[in-house]
Structure 1
Amino acid sequence: MFALRSTARRGWSLRGCAQLRSVSTLDGNPHIYIFPSDGPSGSHILSLLPTEPVNSKLAIGVTSKLPITTDSVRENPKFLDILQDVFSKHAHEDPDAQSQAQVMVSTAGANLYSGGVLQANRRKSKRRADASDSSGGASGQGGVGSAGRGGWIHISDGRRPPDYGRIAWPEDIFGSLEVDADGQFVGGDGNYQPSGTYRLVTRDGILSISPFLREKLVQRLKELEKE
Protein backbone atom coordinates (compact mmCIF):
# COMPACT_ATOMS: atom_id res chain seq x y z
CA MET A 1 0.00 0.00 0.00
CA PHE A 2 2.73 2.45 0.97
CA ALA A 3 6.03 2.01 -0.83
CA LEU A 4 9.47 3.17 0.25
CA ARG A 5 11.78 5.74 -1.13
CA SER A 6 15.34 6.62 -0.15
CA THR A 7 16.76 10.08 0.35
CA ALA A 8 20.39 10.99 0.82
CA ARG A 9 21.44 12.57 4.09
CA ARG A 10 24.84 14.11 4.65
CA GLY A 11 26.94 12.85 7.55
CA TRP A 12 30.57 13.24 8.65
CA SER A 13 33.32 10.67 9.01
CA LEU A 14 35.96 10.76 11.74
CA ARG A 15 38.30 12.43 9.27
CA GLY A 16 35.84 15.25 8.70
CA CYS A 17 35.01 14.18 5.15
CA ALA A 18 31.47 14.48 3.96
CA GLN A 19 29.61 11.22 3.38
CA LEU A 20 26.15 10.40 2.09
CA ARG A 21 23.84 7.99 3.87
CA SER A 22 20.53 6.73 2.64
CA VAL A 23 17.44 7.42 4.74
CA SER A 24 14.21 5.64 3.83
CA THR A 25 10.90 7.47 3.84
CA LEU A 26 7.39 6.51 2.85
CA ASP A 27 6.62 7.09 -0.81
CA GLY A 28 4.13 9.92 -1.03
CA ASN A 29 4.92 11.01 2.53
CA PRO A 30 8.57 12.11 2.65
CA HIS A 31 8.13 13.47 6.17
CA ILE A 32 7.85 9.99 7.68
CA TYR A 33 11.17 8.20 8.19
CA ILE A 34 11.62 4.44 8.41
CA PHE A 35 14.15 2.66 10.63
CA PRO A 36 14.78 -1.05 11.27
CA SER A 37 13.31 -2.17 14.59
CA ASP A 38 15.01 -4.27 17.26
CA GLY A 39 11.79 -6.27 17.46
CA PRO A 40 10.61 -9.11 15.22
CA SER A 41 12.42 -9.58 11.93
CA GLY A 42 11.03 -7.33 9.20
CA SER A 43 9.50 -4.78 11.56
CA HIS A 44 10.26 -1.08 11.21
CA ILE A 45 9.85 2.07 13.29
CA LEU A 46 8.04 5.04 11.74
CA SER A 47 9.07 8.51 12.89
CA LEU A 48 8.76 12.19 12.01
CA LEU A 49 12.36 12.66 13.15
CA PRO A 50 15.35 11.57 11.03
CA THR A 51 17.58 11.09 14.08
CA GLU A 52 19.54 7.88 14.52
CA PRO A 53 19.37 5.96 16.73
CA VAL A 54 15.64 6.51 16.69
CA ASN A 55 13.82 7.23 19.96
CA SER A 56 10.97 4.73 19.88
CA LYS A 57 9.11 6.64 22.61
CA LEU A 58 8.69 9.57 20.23
CA ALA A 59 8.01 7.49 17.12
CA ILE A 60 4.69 7.33 15.30
CA GLY A 61 4.58 3.59 15.75
CA VAL A 62 5.94 0.27 14.52
CA THR A 63 4.94 -1.61 11.39
CA SER A 64 5.31 -5.37 11.09
CA LYS A 65 5.82 -5.17 7.33
CA LEU A 66 6.48 -2.91 4.39
CA PRO A 67 4.64 -1.62 2.50
CA ILE A 68 2.41 -0.85 5.48
CA THR A 69 -1.27 -1.75 5.65
CA THR A 70 -4.11 -0.83 7.97
CA ASP A 71 -3.40 -3.86 10.16
CA SER A 72 0.41 -3.79 10.14
CA VAL A 73 0.97 -0.64 12.23
CA ARG A 74 1.00 -0.61 16.02
CA GLU A 75 0.39 2.99 17.09
CA ASN A 76 2.46 4.67 19.78
CA PRO A 77 -0.07 6.14 22.27
CA LYS A 78 2.54 8.60 23.61
CA PHE A 79 3.04 10.04 20.12
CA LEU A 80 -0.69 10.60 19.72
CA ASP A 81 -0.79 12.28 23.14
CA ILE A 82 2.02 14.61 22.07
CA LEU A 83 0.20 15.33 18.79
CA GLN A 84 -3.01 16.25 20.58
CA ASP A 85 -1.15 18.45 23.06
CA VAL A 86 0.53 20.33 20.19
CA PHE A 87 -2.79 20.71 18.39
CA SER A 88 -4.48 22.03 21.52
CA LYS A 89 -1.86 24.79 21.69
CA HIS A 90 -1.43 25.61 18.01
CA ALA A 91 -4.39 24.40 15.90
CA HIS A 92 -6.05 27.83 16.08
CA GLU A 93 -2.88 29.39 14.63
CA ASP A 94 -2.95 27.19 11.54
CA PRO A 95 -3.71 29.33 8.46
CA ASP A 96 -5.96 26.52 7.15
CA ALA A 97 -8.05 26.58 10.35
CA GLN A 98 -8.23 30.38 10.34
CA SER A 99 -9.43 30.39 6.74
CA GLN A 100 -11.98 27.72 7.51
CA ALA A 101 -13.32 29.74 10.45
CA GLN A 102 -13.81 32.82 8.28
CA VAL A 103 -15.54 30.88 5.53
CA MET A 104 -17.79 29.18 8.05
CA VAL A 105 -19.48 32.41 9.11
CA SER A 106 -19.65 33.80 5.60
CA THR A 107 -22.21 32.96 2.96
CA ALA A 108 -19.56 31.30 0.82
CA GLY A 109 -19.82 27.91 2.46
CA ALA A 110 -17.28 25.65 4.12
CA ASN A 111 -13.55 25.42 3.56
CA LEU A 112 -13.02 21.70 3.55
CA TYR A 113 -9.27 21.15 3.47
CA SER A 114 -9.16 20.93 7.26
CA GLY A 115 -12.26 18.79 7.36
CA GLY A 116 -15.38 20.93 7.12
CA VAL A 117 -17.43 22.37 9.95
CA LEU A 118 -19.93 21.27 12.56
CA GLN A 119 -23.31 22.86 13.02
CA ALA A 120 -23.53 25.79 15.41
CA ASN A 121 -25.76 24.02 17.93
CA ARG A 122 -23.76 21.12 19.36
CA ARG A 123 -26.91 19.60 20.85
CA LYS A 124 -28.01 18.94 17.29
CA SER A 125 -24.74 17.29 16.31
CA LYS A 126 -26.18 14.22 14.57
CA ARG A 127 -24.96 14.26 11.00
CA ARG A 128 -27.30 13.55 8.14
CA ALA A 129 -26.18 10.92 5.70
CA ASP A 130 -27.60 9.07 2.79
CA ALA A 131 -27.14 5.37 2.18
CA SER A 132 -24.18 5.82 -0.11
CA ASP A 133 -22.13 8.38 1.85
CA SER A 134 -21.54 8.57 5.60
CA SER A 135 -20.03 12.05 5.52
CA GLY A 136 -22.37 14.83 6.62
CA GLY A 137 -23.85 17.51 4.38
CA ALA A 138 -23.46 21.24 4.79
CA SER A 139 -26.97 21.68 6.14
CA GLY A 140 -26.08 19.48 9.11
CA GLN A 141 -22.76 21.07 9.97
CA GLY A 142 -23.07 24.84 9.83
CA GLY A 143 -21.43 25.12 6.42
CA VAL A 144 -23.28 26.86 3.61
CA GLY A 145 -25.90 29.12 5.15
CA SER A 146 -24.30 29.28 8.62
CA ALA A 147 -23.36 32.96 8.34
CA GLY A 148 -23.37 34.88 11.60
CA ARG A 149 -24.00 31.87 13.83
CA GLY A 150 -20.59 30.49 14.68
CA GLY A 151 -20.09 26.87 15.66
CA TRP A 152 -17.33 24.27 15.46
CA ILE A 153 -14.80 23.45 12.74
CA HIS A 154 -12.82 20.24 12.34
CA ILE A 155 -9.06 19.86 12.20
CA SER A 156 -8.61 16.78 10.07
CA ASP A 157 -6.09 14.60 8.32
CA GLY A 158 -5.40 15.64 4.73
CA ARG A 159 -5.19 12.13 3.30
CA ARG A 160 -8.83 12.22 2.20
CA PRO A 161 -10.20 15.75 1.80
CA PRO A 162 -14.02 15.61 1.93
CA ASP A 163 -16.23 16.77 -0.91
CA TYR A 164 -17.49 20.34 -0.90
CA GLY A 165 -20.12 20.98 1.76
CA ARG A 166 -19.29 17.84 3.76
CA ILE A 167 -17.22 17.00 6.82
CA ALA A 168 -14.38 14.50 7.08
CA TRP A 169 -14.90 10.92 8.17
CA PRO A 170 -14.59 10.43 11.97
CA GLU A 171 -11.42 8.37 11.52
CA ASP A 172 -9.79 11.40 9.86
CA ILE A 173 -10.75 14.01 12.46
CA PHE A 174 -8.13 15.04 15.03
CA GLY A 175 -10.39 17.43 16.91
CA SER A 176 -12.52 20.57 16.71
CA LEU A 177 -12.25 24.30 17.38
CA GLU A 178 -15.07 26.58 18.49
CA VAL A 179 -15.75 29.68 16.38
CA ASP A 180 -17.90 32.67 17.32
CA ALA A 181 -20.34 34.54 15.07
CA ASP A 182 -17.54 36.83 13.83
CA GLY A 183 -15.33 33.98 12.70
CA GLN A 184 -12.95 34.33 15.66
CA PHE A 185 -11.85 31.44 17.84
CA VAL A 186 -13.69 31.35 21.16
CA GLY A 187 -11.39 32.17 24.06
CA GLY A 188 -8.63 33.06 21.65
CA ASP A 189 -7.56 29.44 21.19
CA GLY A 190 -10.82 27.90 20.02
CA ASN A 191 -11.27 25.59 23.02
CA TYR A 192 -9.76 22.66 21.11
CA GLN A 193 -11.52 19.35 21.72
CA PRO A 194 -9.91 16.02 20.65
CA SER A 195 -12.30 13.86 18.64
CA GLY A 196 -11.37 10.50 20.14
CA THR A 197 -12.10 8.90 16.75
CA TYR A 198 -8.87 9.55 14.83
CA ARG A 199 -7.05 6.59 13.28
CA LEU A 200 -3.39 6.82 12.38
CA VAL A 201 -3.69 4.55 9.33
CA THR A 202 -6.72 4.02 7.10
CA ARG A 203 -7.20 2.66 3.60
CA ASP A 204 -6.53 6.20 2.37
CA GLY A 205 -3.10 6.46 3.92
CA ILE A 206 -1.09 7.26 7.02
CA LEU A 207 -0.81 10.47 9.06
CA SER A 208 -0.92 13.60 6.85
CA ILE A 209 -0.79 16.91 8.72
CA SER A 210 -0.87 20.48 7.41
CA PRO A 211 2.62 21.99 6.96
CA PHE A 212 2.06 24.44 9.83
CA LEU A 213 0.99 21.83 12.38
CA ARG A 214 3.61 19.34 11.21
CA GLU A 215 6.31 21.95 11.84
CA LYS A 216 4.96 22.60 15.34
CA LEU A 217 4.79 18.87 16.06
CA VAL A 218 8.32 18.18 14.83
CA GLN A 219 9.58 21.12 16.88
CA ARG A 220 8.00 19.64 20.01
CA LEU A 221 9.39 16.18 19.27
CA LYS A 222 12.88 17.64 18.90
CA GLU A 223 12.51 19.38 22.26
CA LEU A 224 11.50 16.11 23.92
CA GLU A 225 14.34 14.32 22.16
CA LYS A 226 16.85 16.59 23.92
CA GLU A 227 15.42 15.97 27.39
Structure 2
Amino acid sequence: MGLSFLPEAPKKGAESRTIIGFLPVGEDVGLEDFRENVKFMYVCGDVDWDRDFRGLKAGHIKAGLATGAGATVETEASARGSDGYMHIADGRNLPPPGRIPEPHDIIGSVYVQSGKILPETYEAQPMYRICTQDGVCVLPYGLDEHVLKALKEVADKE
Protein backbone atom coordinates (compact mmCIF):
# COMPACT_ATOMS: atom_id res chain seq x y z
CA MET A 1 0.00 0.00 0.00
CA GLY A 2 1.39 3.40 -0.98
CA LEU A 3 1.29 6.44 1.30
CA SER A 4 1.02 9.96 -0.13
CA PHE A 5 0.32 13.50 1.08
CA LEU A 6 -1.92 14.05 -1.94
CA PRO A 7 -5.67 13.47 -1.66
CA GLU A 8 -5.95 11.48 -4.91
CA ALA A 9 -4.27 8.28 -6.02
CA PRO A 10 -1.38 8.96 -8.39
CA LYS A 11 -1.85 8.28 -12.11
CA LYS A 12 1.41 6.31 -12.25
CA GLY A 13 0.45 4.10 -9.31
CA ALA A 14 3.37 2.62 -7.37
CA GLU A 15 5.84 4.23 -9.80
CA SER A 16 4.76 7.74 -8.84
CA ARG A 17 7.30 10.11 -7.37
CA THR A 18 4.54 11.52 -5.14
CA ILE A 19 4.30 8.38 -2.99
CA ILE A 20 6.15 8.83 0.30
CA GLY A 21 6.65 5.12 0.85
CA PHE A 22 5.04 1.73 1.13
CA LEU A 23 3.55 -0.52 3.80
CA PRO A 24 2.94 -4.17 3.04
CA VAL A 25 -0.65 -5.34 3.44
CA GLY A 26 -1.22 -7.71 6.35
CA GLU A 27 -2.45 -8.12 9.91
CA ASP A 28 0.85 -7.72 11.76
CA VAL A 29 2.13 -4.71 9.83
CA GLY A 30 3.59 -1.77 11.72
CA LEU A 31 5.60 1.37 11.05
CA GLU A 32 8.82 -0.67 11.26
CA ASP A 33 7.71 -2.29 7.97
CA PHE A 34 7.51 1.08 6.19
CA ARG A 35 9.82 1.46 3.16
CA GLU A 36 10.70 4.92 1.88
CA ASN A 37 10.17 5.66 -1.80
CA VAL A 38 13.54 6.90 -3.03
CA LYS A 39 11.81 8.61 -5.97
CA PHE A 40 9.82 10.73 -3.50
CA MET A 41 13.00 11.72 -1.73
CA TYR A 42 14.43 12.88 -5.05
CA VAL A 43 11.38 15.04 -5.73
CA CYS A 44 12.00 16.84 -2.47
CA GLY A 45 15.54 17.74 -3.42
CA ASP A 46 18.37 18.35 -5.79
CA VAL A 47 19.81 14.87 -5.73
CA ASP A 48 22.22 13.08 -8.00
CA TRP A 49 20.26 10.01 -9.18
CA ASP A 50 23.40 7.88 -8.78
CA ARG A 51 23.67 8.59 -5.06
CA ASP A 52 21.98 6.64 -2.31
CA PHE A 53 19.99 9.30 -0.51
CA ARG A 54 17.85 8.95 2.60
CA GLY A 55 16.86 12.47 3.72
CA LEU A 56 15.09 15.46 2.29
CA LYS A 57 17.74 17.21 0.25
CA ALA A 58 18.10 20.88 -0.60
CA GLY A 59 15.62 21.25 -3.52
CA HIS A 60 12.12 22.09 -2.32
CA ILE A 61 13.11 22.61 1.29
CA LYS A 62 15.85 25.07 0.31
CA ALA A 63 13.56 26.72 -2.24
CA GLY A 64 10.87 27.10 0.42
CA LEU A 65 13.33 28.73 2.80
CA ALA A 66 14.56 31.04 0.03
CA THR A 67 11.03 32.20 -0.82
CA GLY A 68 10.03 32.77 2.81
CA ALA A 69 7.72 29.76 2.98
CA GLY A 70 9.22 28.52 6.26
CA ALA A 71 7.35 30.82 8.67
CA THR A 72 7.94 28.63 11.72
CA VAL A 73 11.62 28.21 10.92
CA GLU A 74 12.01 31.96 10.35
CA THR A 75 10.38 32.71 13.71
CA GLU A 76 12.74 30.32 15.46
CA ALA A 77 15.72 31.86 13.66
CA SER A 78 14.72 35.40 14.66
CA ALA A 79 14.56 34.34 18.33
CA ARG A 80 18.13 32.99 18.37
CA GLY A 81 20.60 34.92 20.45
CA SER A 82 23.65 34.13 18.35
CA ASP A 83 24.78 33.24 14.86
CA GLY A 84 25.25 29.59 13.94
CA TYR A 85 23.60 26.53 12.49
CA MET A 86 20.04 25.78 13.48
CA HIS A 87 18.34 22.41 13.10
CA ILE A 88 15.01 22.18 11.30
CA ALA A 89 13.01 19.61 13.23
CA ASP A 90 10.22 17.36 12.02
CA GLY A 91 7.01 18.33 13.83
CA ARG A 92 5.99 14.75 14.63
CA ASN A 93 8.25 14.65 17.70
CA LEU A 94 9.42 18.11 18.70
CA PRO A 95 12.04 18.24 21.45
CA PRO A 96 11.55 20.29 24.62
CA PRO A 97 12.55 23.97 24.26
CA GLY A 98 16.30 24.42 24.08
CA ARG A 99 16.96 20.76 23.32
CA ILE A 100 18.26 19.15 20.13
CA PRO A 101 15.88 16.80 18.24
CA GLU A 102 16.73 13.14 17.74
CA PRO A 103 18.93 12.72 14.60
CA HIS A 104 16.15 10.86 12.74
CA ASP A 105 13.85 13.86 13.43
CA ILE A 106 16.22 16.54 12.05
CA ILE A 107 15.20 17.36 8.48
CA GLY A 108 18.27 19.50 7.95
CA SER A 109 20.27 22.43 9.23
CA VAL A 110 20.61 26.01 8.07
CA TYR A 111 22.92 28.83 9.09
CA VAL A 112 21.35 31.78 10.90
CA GLN A 113 23.07 35.15 10.90
CA SER A 114 21.70 38.15 12.80
CA GLY A 115 18.38 36.33 13.19
CA LYS A 116 18.01 35.67 9.45
CA ILE A 117 18.13 32.32 7.66
CA LEU A 118 20.76 31.96 4.94
CA PRO A 119 18.87 29.48 2.67
CA GLU A 120 21.90 28.68 0.53
CA THR A 121 23.51 27.07 3.61
CA TYR A 122 20.75 24.47 4.01
CA GLU A 123 22.09 20.94 4.41
CA ALA A 124 19.93 17.83 4.65
CA GLN A 125 20.43 15.51 7.62
CA PRO A 126 21.36 12.09 6.22
CA MET A 127 20.01 10.36 9.36
CA TYR A 128 16.53 11.85 8.86
CA ARG A 129 13.73 9.32 8.45
CA ILE A 130 10.48 10.19 6.71
CA CYS A 131 8.62 7.69 8.93
CA THR A 132 9.50 6.62 12.48
CA GLN A 133 7.71 5.04 15.43
CA ASP A 134 6.27 8.53 16.05
CA GLY A 135 4.56 8.65 12.65
CA VAL A 136 5.00 10.12 9.18
CA CYS A 137 6.83 13.36 8.47
CA VAL A 138 5.30 16.65 9.63
CA LEU A 139 7.13 19.51 7.93
CA PRO A 140 7.24 22.92 9.65
CA TYR A 141 4.39 25.28 8.84
CA GLY A 142 4.90 26.93 5.48
CA LEU A 143 7.39 24.37 4.23
CA ASP A 144 4.60 21.79 4.34
CA GLU A 145 2.47 23.83 1.96
CA HIS A 146 5.45 24.56 -0.28
CA VAL A 147 6.35 20.85 -0.65
CA LEU A 148 2.67 19.88 -1.11
CA LYS A 149 2.37 22.38 -3.96
CA ALA A 150 5.51 20.90 -5.57
CA LEU A 151 4.07 17.38 -5.23
CA LYS A 152 0.84 18.48 -6.93
CA GLU A 153 2.89 19.85 -9.83
CA VAL A 154 4.76 16.55 -10.11
CA ALA A 155 1.47 14.62 -10.06
CA ASP A 156 0.08 16.81 -12.86
CA LYS A 157 3.14 16.09 -15.03
CA GLU A 158 3.12 12.32 -14.47
Question: Does TM, scored on the shorter chain, surpass 0.5?
Answer: yes
Distance in 2 between residues matched to 1:78 and 1:91, nearest whole Å: 22
**TM-score using structure 1 length:** 0.56
Structure 1 unaligned residues grouped into runs of 5+: 1-43, 106-148
Distance in 2 between residues matched to 1:88 and 1:207, nearest whole Å: 17
Q: CA deviation at 1:52?
A: 3.1
**TM-score using structure 2 length:** 0.78
Query: Does the C-alpha gap of structure 1 residues 54 and 152 become closer, same or farther in structure 2, counting only changes over 3 Å?
Result: same
* Contact 1:91–1:155 (CA under 8 A) maintained in structure 2: no
Q: Which residue of 2 aligns with 1:133?
A: none
Distance in 2 between residues matched to 1:88 and 1:161, nearest whole Å: 21
Q: CA deviation at 1:190?
A: 4.8
Distance in 2 between residues matched to 1:103 and 1:53, nearest whole Å: 40
User: Residues 162-193 of structure 1, C-alpha deviation per residue, up to 9 Å, x if partnerless?
Assistant: 0121010000011011011x11123xx25111
Q: Which has the larger radius of gyration?
A: 1
Distance in 1 between residues matched to 2:2 and 2:148, nearest whole Å: 16
Share of identical aligned residues, percent? Answer: 30
* Contact 1:65–1:72 (CA under 8 A) maintained in structure 2: no
What secondary structure does 1:104 align onto?
Answer: coil
Q: Which residue of 1 aligns with 2:73?
A: 97
The reply to whether residue 184 of structure 1 matches residue 141 of structure 2 is no
The reply to whether residue 196 of structure 1 matches residue 157 of structure 2 is no
Structure 2 unaligned residues grouped into runs of 5+: 45-56
C-alpha root-mean-square deviation of aligned residues, in Å? 1.9
Moved more, 78-87 or 59-68: 59-68
The reply to whether residue 72 of structure 1 matches residue 33 of structure 2 is yes
Q: Which residue of 2 aligns with 1:173?
A: 106
Number of residue equivalences: 138
Runs of 4+ in 1 over 6 A off after TM superposition: none
Q: CA deviation at 1:213?
A: 1.4
